[in-house]
Amino acid sequence: MKLRKKIIAGNWKMNKTVGDAQELASAVKLELAECREVDVVLCPPFTALKAVGEIIDNTSIKLGAQNMHWEPDGAYTGEISASMLRDLYCHYVILGHSERRTYFGETDAIVNHKVKAALDSNLLPIVCVGETLEEREAGRTQEVIQTQVEGSLSGLAAELKQVIVAYEPIWAIGTGRTATPEMAQEAHAFIRRILTGLSDAETAETVRIQYGGSMKPGNAEELLSQPDIDGGLIGGAALDARSFVEIVRHGM
């Protein structure tokens, strides 16, 4: 038995009306409804969660959201809580995506609140970290990743087993530039060492670390064959059923 089952998640971002989302989810379901080798997750926009959830009901494909608020309820106009996501049968939630950090000012402390709220509601958080090109070129990649991982996951120990980390170098997101498998492996192994420091080696060995950043059918196999790359968080290529399914097959 493999220690870590691969997990491939499609982050549809702010794309797809309900009808388009139903079409895409149906096409993915046709190929992956019975997929047991890899955990497959679809993360449509909030507006399409219910419709996509109905389509993938009774399959092995799971539903995820792209964000949530840390409070259980209250006067937070425009926000969505963990229990609201559970209500729609979400299993996962992406937290601290670089687009949330860049455009909506999410800090590690905010992400940490959200991670704890997600776990309290039995949602599995996919926690995103990654450096900018400027930071990489200045030789600060490890420092940046360490700050983000420790800040986003502080105060968790055994619960870390429920967390998925996504390493997403910002310069590779939506740019067509992918980290080389060696670069990604190095970052993933480093993240696992940080996780060991936050908990213990046994716990850190169970945590799945996804790679994200222009993963496509053409580069997925090499990336997914690295020892510490346990899956992918897919943006652009997840909007096309054929590409997404092909990436999942490379993870099998």
Does position 19 interact with ligand PEP (CB under 6 A)? The reply is no
Residue 213 interacts with ligand PEP (CB under 6 A): yes or no: yes
The dihedral sign for the CA sequence 175, 208, 124, 91: positive
Q: Which stretch binds ligand PEP (CB under 6 A): 24-32, 179-187, 208-216, 222-230?
A: 208-216
Interface pick for ligand PEP out of 6, 10, 11, 43 (rule CB under 6 A): 11
Non-local (6+) Cβ contacts of 129 within 8 A are 96, 145, 148, 149, 152, 165, 166, 167, 168, 191
Q: Which stretch binds ligand PEP (CB under 6 A): 28-36, 103-111, 132-140, 213-221?
A: 213-221
How many residues belong to the site for ligand PEP (CB under 6 A)?
A: 13
Cα separation, 10 vs 94, in Å, equals 10
* 235, 243, 245, 247: residue in contact with ligand PEP (rule CB under 6 A): 235
Q: How many residues does the chain have?
A: 252
Q: Which two tokens stand for residue 48?
A: 């399409």
The residue (of 66 and 81) whose beta carbon lies closer to ligand PEP is 66
- For position 236 contacting ligand PEP by CB under 6 A, the verdict is yes
Q: Does 214 bind ligand PEP (CB under 6 A)?
A: yes
Q: Does 215 contact ligand PEP by CB under 6 A?
A: yes
Contact set for ligand PEP, span 149-178 (CB under 6 A): 168, 173-174
> How far apart (Å, rounded) are the C-alpha atoms in residues 139 and 65?
33
Helix, strand, or coil here: 66? coil
Q: By CB under 6 A, is residue 230 in contact with ligand PEP? A: no
220 forms part of the interface with ligand PEP (CB under 6 A): no
| DSSP E strands, the chain | 7-11, 39-43, 62-65, 90-95, 124-129, 164-167, 208-212, 231-234
Residue 117 main-chain phi, psi, to 5 deg: -65, -40
Which listed residue (35, 43, 93, 234) binds ligand PEP by CB under 6 A?
Answer: 234
Distance of CA 169 to the CA centre of its chain: 13
Which residues here bind ligand PEP, judged by CB under 6 A? 11, 168, 173-174, 212-215, 233-237
